[in-house]
Amino acid sequence: MTERSLVKETEDTTGEEQQYVTFSLNDEEYAVAARNVREIIELTNITKVPQLTEHFRGVINLRGTIVPVVDLKLKFGMRSDGYRKHACIIVTEFSGGIMGLIVDAVSDVIQIPEESIAAPPSLGSRIRTDFVRGMGRVGGDLVIVLDVERVLSDDEFAAVEEAEPFKDT
């Protein structure tokens, strides 16, 4: 059982080829390290949880465990017009726990050698650069490699502040 594998991937994998799960958000291709991915499931019934920021869609039942889900497009401030036919949830693990990411479609599981990941561009990207580990070159295409840890940890804090507008002193 090696599914628990949340380690800071930036440090101990240099030089190694790593597996990534690629997926699409609107017309862009993204990738997350496969070691952060626990499983990929179909879009299922989501129960709304009040008070949270919009991109927190709610919680789902993952075989008896309740897992919160985030709409990545909303999180990244992208245009979102309902879920598409192939939309699914990538269940990821990070240091803060388990989180589901709603994406438009999962494309592939690929190897991206560390040396083909270039530093993130400082300009021109729609999403915050600190979420991006780099730009991966796969064949002739470019994928945006996300740092799951940063994407999700950011949410943790942002949402906590958001969730306590009620100050009772």
Partner 1 sequence: MDLEKLRSIFIDEAMEQASVFEEGLLQIEKSPQDKELLNTIFRSIHTIKGASGTLGFTDISRFTHVMEELLDLMRQERLAVERETIDVLLRATDLIKEMIEAVASGSDFDSTKCEGLVTEMEELKRLQTKRTYRVLFRPGPDLFRRGLDPLVILDGLREIGEVTMRADTDAVPPLSEMDPEELYLRWEMELKTERDPAEIEKVFEFAMDGGDVKIIPVEASEEEVPLLGQLLVEEGVVGPEDVEKALKSQKRVGEILVKQGKVSPKDIEKVVEKQSQRKVESLKKSISSTIRVDLKKLDHLVNIVGEMVIIHSMLQQAVQGNDNGDSERTDAVLSQLQRIGKDIQESVMSLRMLPVGEVFNRFTRLVRELSSSKNKRIELVITGEDTELDKGVLEKITDPLVHLIRNAIDHGIETAEERTSRGKPPHGTIRLSAYQMGDSVFIDVEDDGRGLDKERILNKAVQKGIVESPSGLTDDQIYNLIFMPGFSTAEKVTDISGRGVGMDVVKRNIEALNGRVFIRVRPGEGTTVSIKLPLTLAIIDGLTVLIGGEVFVIPISSVIESLRPGRENVKTLNERDEVIGVRGEFIPLIRLYEELGVTPRKRDPWKAIVVLVSHEDKRCCLLVDDLIGEQQIVIKSLGTALPKVRGIGGGTILGDGRVALVLDVPGIIERTMRRVIR
- Is 2 a binding residue for partner 1 by CB under 8 A? The answer is no
Nearest partner of 36 among 3, 73, 69, judged by Cα: 3
CB of 79 to partner 1, least distance (A): 24
In the complex with partner 1, which residue's Cβ is closer, 4 or 79? 4
Among 99, 127, 143, 148, binds partner 1 (CB under 8 A): 99
Burial of 59 (0-12, 13-18, 19+ CB in 10 A): middle
CB of 13 to partner 1, least distance (A): 22
- Is 48 a binding residue for partner 1 by CB under 8 A? The answer is yes
Quick note: the x/- pattern for partner 1 over 5-44, rule CB under 8 A, is ----------------------------------------
Quick note: the x/- pattern for partner 1 over 49-78, rule CB under 8 A, is xxxx---x-xxxx-xxxxxx----------
- Is 140 a binding residue for partner 1 by CB under 8 A? The answer is no
In the complex with partner 1, which residue's Cβ is closer, 23 or 56? 56
Region of residue 50 (phi > 0: left; psi between -120 and 50: alpha; otherwise: beta): beta
Write out the DSSP string of 7-73.
--HHHHTTTSEEEEEEEEETTEEEEEEGGGEEEEEE----B--TTS-TTEEEEEEETTEEEEEEEHH
Contact by Cβ (8 Å): 155, 146: no
In the complex with partner 1, which residue's Cβ is closer, 57 or 73? 57
